[in-house]
Structure 1
Amino acid sequence: MTDEQIREYFEKVDKNINESGYHLTNVFATAETPSFCYSTGIFKSFNIPEIFISSLPPGLCSEIIENYVEAFKESKEAKRNQRLDFLTERFPVYLIDVPVPSLKEYVLSSIKIYGDEEYKYLQVIYPDTKGNFPNDAGYDYDQEIMGEFNN
């Protein structure tokens, strides 16, 4: 990217944070990494952790993150390590804590926006097509788990 493209991109990030409270970044899969999506601005705007999602399509990521913000922005406390049936109607999910340093190669927009400020991330953990979660017998999906998941 050119310096001008980078400047324009971060203007868009700032605009989205100012208008809706957050920006979503979708990154497509490469030979080395699966696709992923992450939020920037949720922690600053709503005082709840940012969200990281591995290997789901952008539209579904947007749905989950939008529902997450709506569900927890008033209480300021996201439920962790609990089966949640309301972030998408398609399947239940779990939210787990992820140390920000574990995401340093992924959440570049957040690193730039937050700088030295403190912020937190949760990862959305979801089942495979048979309803099995990681740690269940027969789990079969390429979701990259960045924190500790214990269901």
Structure 2
Amino acid sequence: MDDKKKEDYFNKVYKNIKNKGYHTTAVLEEIDFTPFAYSTGIFKNFKIPELFISGLGPNLSGELIENYVSKFKFAEVPLHRKIQNLSDRFAVYFISLKNSDVEEYALTSVKFYENSNYEYLQLIFPDLNGKFPNEVGYNYDQKVLGNLK
């Protein structure tokens, strides 16, 4: 990406964070590459961890991030507990991540926060049979960065 495209991209990021409170970055699926999406600005503006989602497309990931902000902003986010009402499609749960787990993926957040403190959670979702990654028979391409416990 050339310097002009980077400048335009980060201008869009900062505008979204100013107007909406956060920006969603989505990286699309390619051959042998799992898609992912993540937020930037949520920790600063809503006092909850940023969110990382692996294995879902950009529209659904964007919807889940939006619902996450609406439901949990300025509140405690439950970890390792199934949440039934974040999406009308399936239950999810959240696991904590170290920044080092996500820094190679969440480059926009790394740049935005620079040396400031921030935190990330990963949204974990079930496969098409309703099984989660820590359950026998799970079958889906979701890269889990943190500890499922």
5+ residue gaps, structure 2: none
Distance in 2 between residues matched to 1:119 and 1:127, nearest whole Å: 27
Q: Deviations over 1:93-129 (max 9, x none)?
A: 0100011101121000000000000100000000000
Distance in 1 between residues matched to 2:74 and 2:97, nearest whole Å: 22
Residue 57 of structure 2 corresponds to 57
Distance in 1 between residues matched to 2:64 and 2:35, nearest whole Å: 16
Residue correspondence of structure 1 range 14-93 to structure 2 within 5 A = 14-31=14-31, 33-75=33-75, 77-93=76-92
Identity of paired residues, percent?
47
TM-score (norm 1): 0.95
Q: CA RMSD in A?
A: 1.0
Answer whether contact 1:17 1:23 (CA < 8 A) is retained. Answer: yes
Letter in 2 for 1:148: N
Letter in 2 for 1:79: P
Number of residue equivalences: 149
Answer whether contact 1:63 1:87 (CA < 8 A) is retained. Answer: no
Q: SS state of the match for residue 82, structure 1? A: coil
Letter in 2 for 1:34: T
Q: Deviations over 1:66-93 (max 9, x none)?
A: 1110111132x11111100111110000
TM-score (norm 2): 0.97
